[in-house]
Amino acid sequence: MTLPPTGVSKSQLAYHWIKARISDGTFTPGYRLVLGAIGKDLGVSVVPVREAIRRLEAEGLVTFERNVGAQVAMLEETEYLYTMQTLSVVEGVATALSAPFITTADIERARTVNQAMIVSLEDLNPHRFTELNLEFHSILFESCPNPHILDLVHRGWNRMKVLRDSTFSFVPGRARDSVAEHDNLLQLIEAGADALTLELAARAHRTGTLDAFLAYQKSHHPQPASDPSPRKRA
């Protein structure tokens, strides 16, 4: 590797190198930043890389967790919140409307995908888990007869791809709950549950992932407590 320009410290070099890869999507949200590997790529020790990571953490671009290490942070948290809230509503409706058209073969195909997700829990790859998750849910909502609602669902999932690689990178424990909820959705469809029951179950499944992520964010980025003392009137 070429030496950094004169006047640029190794820490600054590492900072700009990592930040550029976060910005262009090379390092996606949830991507583990291994200090030794980055240092090797840059031809520097882990010390300047660690300093760069701390600077990026202060900017909110990186998170650090004991026993996990440094990871690229979730970006556009507010947009993620709004998208997940919207997707929970439209996907819930789409799933309920699709139910009468879902065949036994569709159910078996969905179970096969969910089983693959269960197997992957042993050595969780969040990105692959998310791909399987979309495949599973597509089986349940693609038969929606209302093209406008289906278009909104597609828009929501596409928006999620832009916002993050996978929530499961941050809250891997949610993955195990998710596959159990998948099985519950399939049982409801097989049992011929009414549309409202199925819609609410699908919506709760989606908001469960959102709630898990928000709880993670709150524990790692707590908001400062507001001043409880009453303000004096002027």
pLDDT of residue 216: 79
Query: Crossing angle of helices 10-23/35-42, nearest 10°?
Result: 110
User: How confident is the prediction along the chain (234 residues), in pLDDT tens digits per residue?
Assistant: 444 455 678 999 999 999 888 877 678 777 889 999 999 999 999 999 999 999 998 877 888 877 778 988 766 677 788 889 999 999 999 999 999 999 999 999 999 999 999 999 988 888 788 889 999 999 999 999 999 999 999 989 987 775 655 677 777 789 999 999 999 999 999 999 999 999 999 999 999 998 988 887 777 655 544 444 444 433
pLDDT of residue 178: 95
3-state secondary structure of 72: strand
pLDDT of residue 227: 42
Distances (CA, A) of 4 to 7, 147, 158: 8, 54, 38
E-only strand ranges, the chain: 32-33, 62-65, 69-72
Task: Tell me the two tokens of residue 72.
Answer: 């690229």
**Distance of alpha carbon 122 from alpha carbon 139, whole angstroms:** 24
The count of other CB atoms within 10 Å of the CB of residue 60 is 12
- CA 138 from centre of chain: 17
pTM of the model: 0.67
Which residue pairs, CB below 8 angstroms and at least 24 apart, start in 44-49?
44/10, 44/13, 44/14, 45/10, 48/9, 48/10, 48/11, 48/13, 48/14, 49/14, 49/18
Task: Tell me the residue type at 220.
Answer: H
pLDDT of residue 182: 97
Task: Tell me the residue type at 44.
Answer: V
pLDDT of residue 27: 83
pLDDT of residue 115: 97
pLDDT of residue 35: 92
With a CB cutoff of 8 Å and minimum separation 6, the contacts of 20 are none
pLDDT of residue 7: 64
**Distance of alpha carbon 215 from alpha carbon 220, whole angstroms:** 9
Whether residue 153 contacts residue 90, with contact meaning beta carbons closer than 8 Å, is answered with yes
Task: Tell me the residue type at 37.
Answer: A
Closest-CA residue to 95 (of 174, 208, 201) = 201
Task: Tell me the two tokens of residue 87.
Answer: 């997707």
